[in-house]
Amino acid sequence: MTKIRTRYAPSPTGKMHVGNLRSALYEFLIAKHAGGDFMLRIEDTDQERFVEGATEIIYRTMAKTGLIHDEGPDKDGGYGPYVQSERMKTGIYMKYAKELIDKGEAYYCFCDKERLASLKTEIVEGKEIMIYDKHCLHLSKEEVEANLAAGKPFVIRQNNPTEGTTTFHDELYGDITVNNSELDDMILIKSDGYPTYNFANVVDDHTMNITHVVRGNEYLSSSPKYVRLYEAFGWEVPVYVHLPLITDENHKKLSKRSGHSSFEDLIEQGFLTEAIVNYIALLGWSPEDNREIFSLDELIRDFDYRRISKSPAVFDIVKLRWMNGEYLKAMDLDVFYEMAEPYLKAALTKDLDLKKIAAMVKTRIEVFPDIAAQVDFFEELGEYDPAMYTHKKMKTNAESSLEVLTEVLPLLEEQEDYSNDALYQTLLGYVEKKGCKNGYVMWPIRTAVSGKQMTPAGATEIMEILGKDESLKRIRKGIELLQNA
C-alpha cells in the first residue's frame, strides 16, 4: 500500500477561518491515523488576494493547535519548494501547461478584454460566468507563434470537450457526473505568468504525491475540470473528500458577521485551543459512539473519514461553550490559575486571595471571560433586593433572616479566626442550638455577604475571602436592609 500523504493548502488571504482549520485538522487526522505524512503548502499565486501577515497566522495557528506538518516551507521533505510563488520560479507550471498544449489539451488564448467582454455569459449557481467560445483554439500554429514573437499578452486555457460527460468520485458524495458542455475552458496560466489556483493545485498535488485531497464542498463543482486535467496528463486522480458546509445557528453559511468565524476570534473570546480543536473535529464528523470529548491523540486514533457526514454542520457557540467548560473542569488547578489570573486581576482590584477564588470559579465558568460576573461581588457589594432573603426550600423569609443575622452578628464579631473551617464550626454551633436546618442560617448569611442569588461558594468560604471587617460590614448592611424592608 502506498503511504498516505495529505496536505493543507491554504491561500494566505487573512484569518484562519473555522472551515480552514477543519480542513487542516481532517487532512492531519487522515494522514496521522494511517501513519502517513501531512504537509503544508502555501498557495499564494493569487497576488490580488494576498494579505500581508496571513502566512504567519497560518504557521502560528498550526503550531498552537498541534497540527504539526511533516513537510512544508520550513521543513523540507524532498518535494519542495512548498510555496507556490517559489515553485513558479522553477518553471514547473509553465512546463506542464506546455505539455498539455502539445497534447491538444490546452491552448494559448490572446483574446483581449474587449473581446472577452462581448462574449455571452451564463448564470451558474447565481454567479454570472463567461463561457469562452474557444476562439483561439482555432488559431493556426503560425498565428500563435507570430503572436508570441510579437509579445502579445496571452493566457493558457484548458481545452475541454464540449460533448460527452466527465465522472469523478468523491468519498462522501459518491460518483458525480457532469456534461462536458458545462465545463468552461478555464485559465491555467494567467497573463502575468502565474498559474491559476485551479492549475497549480493539480500540478502540485500530483508532483507532491498527495493521495487524499480534503477540502470544502465549494470546490465540488470545479472538480470535474481538475479530474480532466489529471486524465489529460495521464495521472492518477487522488481520493477526494469534500467536506460539508459549516453554517451558523440560523443555517446561513458561517461568516464574519457571526463574530466567531475564525480561530483568532474564538481565542480572543477566551476559548481554549484544545476545546476549539475538539469542537471543530465534530463539525461534520462523529465517532461510532456518542463520545464528544477528544484529545488530539484520541482523534488521531479514532478518526475515520468515512464517517464524515454530508449534511451541513451547524456551528453552535452554546455547545462550544459547554465543551470549553468541560476542559476547564478537567484542567489542573495551577494551570487554570495561571490562565485565569489576568481575568481575576481585571475584575478584582482589592487584595484578595485570588488562588482560592480561582478554585471556586473553576467548575462554574465556561470561558474565562465568565469570571468577571462570578466574582464581582467580592470587589463590591452591589444593590440587591431584600426579597432575595425569602427562599421556599430553605424556609427563610425577611423576618427569619433578620432574626438570624441579628443573632449571629455578635458571634461573628467575637470570632477571631476567619478561616472557612472555623467560621463553619461557629455557625454550626448556632444551628444546633437553634435546632434548625443549615440552610435556614446559611442562606441569609450568604445573601448578606454576597448580595447575589448565585455565588461560586458558600457563606463561610466567601467570608474567609472577604475577611472579618468586610464580612461584618455586609452583615450589618443586611440587617439594616431587612429592618427597613
Q: Which residues are catalytic?
A: 256
In the bound complex, what is the minimum distance in angstroms from residue 11's beta carbon to ligand GLU? Answer: 4
In the bound complex, what is the minimum distance in angstroms from residue 181's beta carbon to ligand GLU? Answer: 25
Given 4, 5, 6, 9, the residue binding ligand GLU (CB under 6 A): 9
Query: How far is the first Cα of the chain from the last one, in angstroms, to the nearest whole number?
Result: 81
The helix (H) or strand (E) run that includes residue 356 is helix 354-361
Closest C-alpha among 119, 102, 121, 103 to residue 111:
119
Q: Residue 26 or 107: which CB sits closer to ligand GLU?
A: 26
**Contacting range for ligand GLU; rule: CB under 6 A; set: 6-14, 113-121, 162-170, 366-374:** 6-14
Q: Residue 4 or 466: which CB sits closer to ligand GLU?
A: 4
**Contacting range for ligand GLU; rule: CB under 6 A; set: 3-11, 144-152, 186-194, 295-303:** 3-11
**Contacting range for ligand GLU; rule: CB under 6 A; set: 4-12, 230-238, 346-354, 390-398:** 4-12
In the bound complex, what is the minimum distance in angstroms from residue 214's beta carbon to ligand GLU? Answer: 7
Q: How many residues bind ligand GLU (CB under 6 A)?
A: 7
Q: Residue 32 or 215: which CB sits closer to ligand GLU?
A: 215
Q: Residue 310 or 468: which CB sits closer to ligand GLU?
A: 310
Tell me the DSSP string of 263-297: HHHHHHTT--HHHHHHHHHTSSB--SS------HH
Q: Residue 198 or 397: which CB sits closer to ligand GLU?
A: 198
Q: Residue 43 or 470: which CB sits closer to ligand GLU?
A: 43
In the bound complex, what is the minimum distance in angstroms from residue 313's beta carbon to ligand GLU? Answer: 17
Write phi, then psi, for 474 (nearest 5 degrees).
Answer: -70, -35
In the bound complex, what is the minimum distance in angstroms from residue 20's beta carbon to ligand GLU? Answer: 7
In the bound complex, what is the minimum distance in angstroms from residue 209's beta carbon to ligand GLU? Answer: 15
- Find the angle CA(388)-CA(391)-CA(392) to the nearest 5 degrees: 150
Q: Residue 310 or 473: which CB sits closer to ligand GLU?
A: 310
Cβ neighbours of residue 55 under 8 Å, at least 6 residues apart?
12, 42, 44
CA distance 101 to 86: 23
Other C-beta atoms lying within 10 Å of the C-beta of residue 483: 12
**Contacting range for ligand GLU; rule: CB under 6 A; set: 5-13, 48-56, 313-321, 388-396:** 5-13
Does 10 contact ligand GLU by CB under 6 A?
yes
Closest C-alpha among 348, 336, 409 to residue 378:
348
The helix (H) or strand (E) run that includes residue 225 is helix 223-233
Cβ neighbours of residue 231 under 8 Å, at least 6 residues apart?
237
Contacts 24+ apart (CB under 8 A), 29-32: 29/281, 29/299, 29/300, 29/303, 29/305, 30/4, 30/6, 30/212, 30/214, 30/241, 30/303, 30/305, 31/4, 31/5, 31/6, 31/70, 31/212, 32/300
The amino acid occupying position 363 is T
Three-class secondary structure of residue 365 per DSSP = coil
Is there a contact between 278 and 293 (Cβ–Cβ < 8 Å)?
Answer: yes
Q: List % helix, strand, coil for the chain (3-state, nearest 5).
A: 50, 15, 35
In the bound complex, what is the minimum distance in angstroms from residue 163's beta carbon to ligand GLU? Answer: 28
In the bound complex, what is the minimum distance in angstroms from residue 215's beta carbon to ligand GLU? Answer: 4
Tell me the DSSP string of 84-120: HHHHHHTTHHHHHHHHHHHHTSEEEE---HHHHHHS-
**Contacting range for ligand GLU; rule: CB under 6 A; set: 7-15, 47-55, 57-65, 289-297:** 7-15
Q: Give strand pairing partners of 6.
A: 38, 212
Site string for ligand GLU, 167-206 (x = CB under 6 A): ------------------------------x---x-----
Ranges within 208-247 binding ligand GLU (CB under 6 A)? 215
Q: Residue 166 or 201: which CB sits closer to ligand GLU?
A: 201
Q: What is the DSSP letter of 191?
A: T
Given 4, 24, 43, 424, the residue binding ligand GLU (CB under 6 A): 43
Other C-beta atoms lying within 10 Å of the C-beta of residue 258: 17
**Contacting range for ligand GLU; rule: CB under 6 A; set: 9-17, 50-58, 147-155, 451-459:** 9-17
Query: Would you tell me which residues interact with ligand GLU (CB under 6 A)?
Result: 9-11, 43, 197, 201, 215
